[in-house]
Structure 1
Amino acid sequence: DLGHSSGFYAGTWASSIDGGGYGSVELDVYGGWAGEITDGITIDVGAIYYAYPNSTKTVLVRNYDVFEVKGVLGFALGPVSTKVGIFYAPDQDSLSGVDNLYFSGDLGVSIPETPISLSAHLGYTDGFLTYTPDAKALDWSLGASATLNEKITLGILYTGVEGQTIDGVTDDAIVASLTARF
């Protein structure tokens, strides 16, 4: 990630996936502006391009890549922080002629005088990316992390979505993470 003191940022994120027609790699490219608008209140506006470079092209789906814009408002008070966000992906080839709207809410609590933080997330999707019959779905997660030093953080997260699994892609999961900052 690259960030400027003005608040502008750009970055990439990549992961291996096992997502059917999406292929085996997801590569995200993002940019935007984030900053504090007043004491304890932040805003983040930007755009994200989700690329699937080795996705399977079909007659019905020529391109799995998705572009979306976002707006996130954050609040912090002592060890508690919360964020509410909206993400919008307009109609594009990968969405089969339907747009997608996602609302998110996040809560974080740092346990004072410890390296441990707890997190919770709730999201609501309305549109193509739900993979549910009514095109509406909830997702959630609960997690904990421990900051080992200024550069290393370990985390564990349980995440799930409503509805039946779709080819294993939407199964609930436990995710372990190791974050290194340089």
Structure 2
Amino acid sequence: MHRKPVLAGVSIAAAAFFAPQFAAAQTAAAPEVSPLTANVTLTSLYKYRGQDQDILKDGGSNFKTSAFKPAIQGGFDYAHESGFYFGNWNSSVNWLDGNSIESDLYGGYKFKAGVLDFDVGVLGYLYAGNTAGNTVELYGAMGYTSEAVGTFTFKYSHTVSDDYFNYAGNSGGSGLKGTNTGYFNLAYTKEIVPKLTLKVAGGYTHMSSDIRSLGYKSYWDYSVGASYDFGAGLSLAGMVQGATEGSSYEVTGDNGETLNPNKARFVVALTKTF
């Protein structure tokens, strides 16, 4: 089960792309902006597409659920003036036996067409300690920003790897695939008062036919909250995140405990960008 950043949030590269561009005044040189940025986050719980990313107890097959399982996250982004970008993002996780870190590698191209902003690229999720979870997606996003209304972004991600976060059990010889699993996401952000930004998002995971044949159902996820900008690259976000709690996602460990990783949680995250 996977289970981003989603506070998957907007990447630093994306923020740089959507920021207004102003011509330098003839009497003064425009300040130089570095194409390379970095970020680090401490979050009370890592949820991705509505699902908990920390469910294993003592690194084994026993499961334990909690609203407070801190994770450390961080990465970097390089955004070229041409629109091309690449980056890396990492997080501590605990949902695959023998693995404790997720490392994401991505790259793409951003461009503007009229009043719309577009973003296309590829993203790979890597789990060094247990490669069964490795997943690769292609994605495309379209955004619209209005100072009065806010920013709307629609994104679609399509799985091209043999499995989708090990749901199909492909690496274990199941003969099934997670290829063609799709994820739709619609996000909205708006600064409601100075430095305080409302953030709302909803998503839908459409599992591949092979994964659905195992009894897993496609599901909806949601995130509602806000973030406060303290300045100097420091921000604090708080939001409720979860997903539809279909019984197909319940897991029972050797200890007899049954839990659902889609359960709604209140998540707090402190982020510093450089």
Query: What interval of TM-score do these two structures reach, taking the shorter chain for normalisation?
Result: 0.7 to 0.9
Q: Which protein has the bigger strand share?
A: 1
Q: Distance in 1 between matches of 2:199 and 2:217?
A: 27
Q: Which residue matches 2:187? A: 106
**Equivalent position SS for 1:148:** strand
> For residues 150 and 37 of structure 1, what CA distance do their matches in structure 2 show?
32
Q: Is the 8 A contact 2:136 2:161 kept in 1?
A: no
Moved more, 65-74 or 155-164: 155-164
In the aligned structure 2, how far is the partner of 1:85 from the partner of 1:166?
Answer: 27
| Alpha-carbon distance change, 54 to 171 in structure 1, aligned in 2, over 3 angstroms | farther
Following superposition, the deviation at residue 148 of structure 1 comes to: 0.7
Deviation at 1:15, TM superposition (A): 0.7
- Residue correspondence of structure 1 range 50-61 to structure 2 within 5 A: 50-55=125-130
Query: Partners in 2 of 1:173 and 1:22 — Cα distance?
Result: 26
> How has the CA–CA distance of structure 1 residues 6 and 98 changed in structure 2, closer, same or farther, with 3 Å as cutoff?
same
User: 2-side partners of 1:133 and 1:121: how far apart?
Assistant: 26
Q: Which amino acid aligns with 2:153?
A: K
Unaligned runs of 5+ in 1: 58-62
CA deviation vs aligned residue, 1:141-180 (integer Å, no higher than 9, x gap) = 1010011114111111211011245345333222212222
Pair 1:47 & 2:139 matched: no
**Structure-2 residue corresponding to 1:144:** 226
Distance in 1, matches of 2:146 and 2:156, equals 22
The AA in structure 2 aligned to 1:51 is L
Give the secondary structure class of the aligned counterpart of 2:121. strand
For residues 53-111 of structure 1, the C-alpha deviation after alignment (integer angstroms, 9 at most, x for no partner) is: 112x7xxxxx2200000000001111511011110002504443132111110111111
The residue that corresponds to 2:271 in the other structure is 179
1:18 aligns with 2:94: yes
Q: Which amino acid aligns with 1:65?
A: N
The percent identity for this pair of structures is 25
Shift of 1:37: 2.1
Equivalent residue letter for 2:271:
T
Distance in 2, Cα, partners of 1:20 & 1:172: 21
Paired residues of 2:135 and 2:161 also in contact (CA < 8 A): no
For residues 126 and 152 of structure 1, what CA distance do their matches in structure 2 show?
Answer: 35
CA contact (8 A) 1:22 1:64 kept: no
Q: Highest CA radius of gyration, 1 or 2?
A: 2
The answer as to whether partners of 2:159 and 2:178 remain within 8 angstroms in 1 is no
What does residue 60 of structure 1 align with? none
Q: TM-score, normalised by structure 1?
A: 0.85
- Alignment match, 1:154: 236
Aligned-pair RMSD on alpha carbons? 2.3
Equivalent position amino acid for 2:201 in 1? H
Matched residue SS, 1:98: coil
Structure 1 position 22, deviation (Å): 7.5
Given that 1:52 and 1:64 are in contact with CA atoms closer than 8 Å, whether structure 2 keeps it comes out as: yes
Name the structure, 1 or 2, with higher relative contact order (CA <8 Å, separation 6+).
2
